[in-house]
Amino acid sequence: MLHVSPKETESNENNQAKPGDFNFLKVIGKGSFGKVLLAKRKHDDEFYAVKVLQKKAILKKKEEKHIMSERNVLLKNVKHPFLVGLHYSFQTADKLYFVLDYINGGELFYHLQRERCFLEPRARFYAAEIASALGYLHSLNIVYRDLKPENILLDHHGHIILTDFGLCKENIEPKGTTCTFCGTPEYLAPEVLHKQPYDRTVDWWCLGAVLYEMLYGLPPFYSRNTAEMYDNILNKPLQLKPNISNAARELLEGLLQKDRTKRLGAKEDFNEIKAHVFFSPINWVDLNAKKLMPPFNPNVSGPSDLQHFDPEFTEEPVPNSIGKSLDNALITASIKEASDAFLGFSYAPPIDSFL
């Protein structure tokens, strides 16, 4: 047990984490601005996923607003069972660190690739947990905008955990819209492709696309040729093969409705999804309390079990620079500019939340 002197508990600042508090063990993922590592906190041997981002790369692409937005959204997630939680965020001269829940049941994408498609009860369970997470974000006036199987993780029991909040848009009121063209090609809603203002129903389109992929093995309007795929999303009617129930068919038609004003969720948001007949077997109170038995158990033996991570990541050596900061002598003007760009990034939980 770490002994904390009264002095150290006086302020939140003294509770700040730093790179030297962790042993970085394995690379478990990669993004556009850095890597995700499995790390163990030295003083209590707790495991975390630490997302390490290069400030230089973020500034070069002018993405600092998205990163700050990701931090703000992460701070609001703590209260939801299907959203990844933030423990600390901190920065060094050249890097940003997010210390997150460590989830090691694998990406939904990984399991879907392995099994090609899921049976309807399993797809329903995942879709319900995802919808619950999206409904919660919407209740905070946050639109997620990047739902895809790579951003959906399974925890060690087999529950859904939504991750990666870099494209979230905050402060979108129930009837509010936004215009930024962003997302992943296969899952883009028609209104985003049309570069029209769009609202929170964009997330329900993506839920439809992910549910379709879980049931059929490919996204709904998929083509290897991106231009053709965009044309399909905009113009091709939704075609559903007969091997799914009428309830699933009706839900997919409602979610993958090209006109967002007629889409399921356009009037009552999450309440419309929840009330759909496809979800009638789901008790939503039990679902949110994680009382429903997941249809699949990832069978991980413990935190060091990395069987569900891509060996392409886990076999990569951990960069030496991850846990170190630049020497003060190397701090250049561009690094000073970087520290101004991320003011207020650091976060530590209030001391009393540990008691």
- Same domain flag for 113 and 247: yes
Domain CATH code at residue 245: 1.10.510.10
Residues 89 and 118 in one domain: no
Same domain, 183 and 45: no
Task: Looking at 222-346, list the stretches that DSSP marks H as alpha helix, in order from N- to C-terminal side.
Answer: 226-235, 246-255, 270-274, 284-288, 311-314, 333-341
Instruction: State residue 175's pLDDT score.
Output: 75
Are 149 and 186 in contact by the 8 Å Cβ rule? The answer is: no
- Give residue 263's pLDDT: 97
Note whether 203 and 89 are same-domain residues.
Answer: no
Q: What is the pLDDT of residues 134-173, one digit of tens each?
A: 999 999 989 898 999 999 999 999 999 999 887 887 767 7
Secondary structure element (H or E) that encloses residue 38, with its range: strand 34-41
Amino acid identity for residue 186 in this structure:
E
Rounded to 5 degrees, φ, ψ at 27 are: -80, 125
Does residue 237 lie in a domain region? yes
Domain count, the chain: 2
Q: Is residue 2 part of a domain?
A: no
Residue pair 91/342 in contact (Cβ under 8 Å)? The answer is yes
Same domain, yes or no: 28 and 155? no
**Do 189 and 260 contact (CB within 8 A), yes or no?**
yes
Residue 150 included in any domain: yes
Find the CATH number of the domain harbouring 27.
3.30.200.20
pLDDT in the model for residue 184: 80
Residues 112, 94 share a domain = no
Residue 11 lies in a domain: no
Q: Are 96 and 112 in a shared domain?
A: no
Give the pLDDT confidence score for residue 21 in this predicted structure: 94
Statement to judge: residues 203 and 266 lie in one domain = yes
What is the reported pLDDT for 326? 56
Question: Same domain, yes or no, for 122 and 241?
Answer: yes
Domain co-membership, 81 together with 186: no
Length of the chain: 355
* In a domain? residue 351: no
Domain membership of residue 271 (yes or no) is yes
Say whether 175 counts as a known binding-site residue.
no
Range of the domain at 76: 19-103+302-341
For 182-203, how does the pLDDT look when each residue is reduced to its tens digit (9 = 90+)?
A: 678 899 999 988 888 778 999 9
Residue ending a domain, choose from 264, 289, 314: 289
Residue 86 belongs to what H/E stretch? strand 86-91
The three-state secondary structure class of 325 is coil
3 occurs within a structural domain: no
Residue whose tokens read 């302020």: 11
At residue 119, the pLDDT reads 97
The model's pTM is 0.89
Q: Does one domain contain both 278 and 153?
A: yes
Instruction: Tell me if 10 is assigned to some domain.
Output: no
Backbone φ and ψ of 92, nearest 5°: -115, -175
Residues of the chain short of pLDDT 70, as ranges, are: 1-14, 78, 171, 177, 179-182, 324-339, 351-355
Q: Which of 45, 94, 101, 146 is catalytic?
A: 146
Q: At which residue do the structure tokens 């905070």 appear?
A: 140
Same domain, 324 and 212: no
Beta-bridge partner residues of 90: 97
Per-residue pLDDT, 10: 32
User: Are residues 131 and 273 in contact, defined by beta-carbon separation less than 8 angstroms?
Assistant: yes
Active site residue 146: yes
